[in-house]
Structure 1
């Protein structure tokens, strides 16, 4: 059973500018009074190197601008353990507990997923500015932004949180106004021994379980272009437009970020089951799940959307 079916079986740099829009400058109407979430955003920070770390943050704000939902996770390339899992998904297999115990700041030690849960809980109820102001200190050359000794956060989190704070701030820059009852996020990771693709998705849902906001992006390592940017951030530098024009389904062609935007727009207004029922077809050996020819989605998206559908299904399943 693949990850998509499992998910469906299980369920069916510092920012103060908050952009209220589906696209920047285009209002979505704002949040109704009393909505659990008034704004939602996603941020990704990629730190390339011999080991590349991709930090992902999905954030939901209430009407007062305070964090009511936060999910932070990291994919490491390579991780030397299970290349298809994030640090949070590795659980005890990540192996941080003994190290944190030796440091003596967390009694008995704590795993990565336990420490990130402490960070997430610490952020809830705070504004983006307050998260940006979390005090840190340098422990050594590799850990330059750990929670300040003696702070409440340091009692349960001794990891470097610099990238976490940056990803949260970036989510703040990407904020969209929503009227949502739930927010969720999901990741799907593929690894062929040379290249890792991390497909991330975030959704905001109304009281009926329909998406009012959707966001997808992919971190590809290596990408042969700018290793610090996601596919969406590469914009025209990704270089998909000419290829999509040759395929002939999109007049004039469309870049990756433009096709991803078409997919996001397609998800809005649909339930998890409706998204899962999206019809796809095989174009060739490398593209086995492209939107069905002649469909509305195919008019603006000719990419393989298999991983998008899996990540969105997980985001729906994780919504809270």
Structure 2
């Protein structure tokens, strides 16, 4: 009897040990291979943006009779996001370039068009939200809290966030328990840019572990009222170029894939200082413009901007930042000081590339 009981207990113990040692099915990455337990795998990356010139001002007076000078203001909200195979956010970075070009009463340029332009993230404490914030948090701190809340959720779940209207300037403040003490900014633009990032998302190759956002902003082509070298009248215009990239990197810091785009936004004025650009107009990036951008008709290789940037993105894939920065370039003219001079790109990329390299480098430095 004792011997039978001993055999029975031994059998139960053995079965239990086998069950305890059976491994759980490991999560799969987008290539079908096993990913580290607990880690979501990047399957897609996307770049989204929302452009607004709604805060631009024309020459005139305010409701108190105070003089208002012309301002061309371009607010560019940018999102770089990585998603898993189920469409859930793995990594997300949000930023806004709030770029102003000021004019004098005589419509000459007031802003220094050579000065560097910082985004809200880059401004950090300089942005100055903390001193007026009820929760005493700066913009960059609040946006990090929002990004963390988004992780692990689908775009539909994020869009379904409960919000509340605080005032006319804050029409969609988060009304969810997790964010009440950390986010008091209005978030509709950030959600819209994330939705665009998902809609534009591209599949990435195996091995992406980090995603970064890079930006480069310039107002160098802005103009005040005057005449050109031929005596032709030049009307005032704020010209804001925002180049951006969402770039995925592997564990060795090599580019797995990158999406690069440029928002080239103009705010135009008449010689009387009145706005001639529709504040509610649609503003497309170079990629969104596609054939409308019009590079092909002046291109020696007969390729549109979006076709050329696609070739540059492919060339970057598999390379380190140092290898990309080390690209041999040549100066074609003053407007094209850094055209690729590498055999693989000579027949596919004839535009200047220094800003595109710069935003991928910044994406690498900020990747997470």
For the aligned pair, the TM-score class normalised by the smaller chain equals 0.7 to 0.9
Going from structure 1 to structure 2, the CA distance change for 1:287 and 1:56 (only over 3 Å counts) comes to same
Structure 2 counterpart of 1:299, from 344, 347, 366 = 347
Asked whether the equivalents of residues 182 and 206 of structure 1 are also in contact (C-alpha less than 8 Å), the reply is: yes
Q: Partner residue of 1:241? A: 296
Asked whether 1:73 is paired with 2:122, we answer: no
Q: Partner residue of 1:263? A: 312
Q: Partner residue of 1:86? A: 119
Q: Partner residue of 2:162? A: 135
Cα distance in 2 for partners of 1:188, 1:133 equals 32
Residue 227 (structure 1) shift: 5.5
Going from structure 1 to structure 2, the CA distance change for 1:84 and 1:266 (only over 3 Å counts) comes to same
Q: Partner residue of 2:365? A: 317
Asked whether the equivalents of residues 77 and 189 of structure 2 are also in contact (C-alpha less than 8 Å), the reply is: yes
Cα distance in 2 for partners of 1:151, 1:228 equals 35
Q: Name the TM-score, length of structure 2 as normaliser.
A: 0.70
Residue 79 (structure 1) shift: 7.8
Structure 2: segments with no counterpart, 5+ residues:
1-29, 57-72, 103-110, 223-237, 269-276
- Per-residue CA deviation, residues 42-64 of structure 1 (Å, 9 max, x unaligned), is 11111233132111111112344
Larger Cα Rg: Structure 1 or Structure 2? 2
Cα distance in 2 for partners of 1:131, 1:175 equals 16
Going from structure 1 to structure 2, the CA distance change for 1:259 and 1:177 (only over 3 Å counts) comes to same
Going from structure 1 to structure 2, the CA distance change for 1:63 and 1:32 (only over 3 Å counts) comes to farther
SS of corresponding position for 2:43: strand
Aligned length in residues: 278
Residue 184 (structure 1) shift: 1.5
Asked whether 1:126 is paired with 2:153, we answer: yes
SS of corresponding position for 1:42: strand
Cα distance in 2 for partners of 1:234, 1:65 equals 26
Asked whether the equivalents of residues 185 and 319 of structure 1 are also in contact (C-alpha less than 8 Å), the reply is: yes
Asked whether the equivalents of residues 51 and 77 of structure 2 are also in contact (C-alpha less than 8 Å), the reply is: yes
SS of corresponding position for 1:90: helix
Asked whether 1:48 is paired with 2:53, we answer: yes
SS of corresponding position for 1:299: coil
Alignment of 1:97-116 (within 5 A): 97-101=130-134, 106=135, 109-116=136-143
Q: Partner residue of 1:289? A: 338
SS of corresponding position for 1:195: strand
Structure 2 counterpart of 1:117, from 121, 138, 144 = 144
Q: Partner residue of 2:3? A: none
Structure 1: segments with no counterpart, 5+ residues:
1-28
Q: Partner residue of 1:195? A: 239
Cα distance in 2 for partners of 1:190, 1:268 equals 26
Going from structure 1 to structure 2, the CA distance change for 1:220 and 1:284 (only over 3 Å counts) comes to same
Asked whether the equivalents of residues 46 and 230 of structure 1 are also in contact (C-alpha less than 8 Å), the reply is: no
Q: Name the TM-score, length of structure 1 as normaliser.
A: 0.80
Cα distance in 2 for partners of 1:32, 1:195 equals 47
Cα distance in 2 for partners of 1:47, 1:88 equals 18
- Per-residue CA deviation, residues 194-246 of structure 1 (Å, 9 max, x unaligned), is 422111112112233322211100112218897521111111221111111xx
Q: Partner residue of 1:167? A: 193
Asked whether the equivalents of residues 48 and 227 of structure 1 are also in contact (C-alpha less than 8 Å), the reply is: no
Higher relative contact order (CA 8 A, sep 6+): 1
SS of corresponding position for 2:77: strand
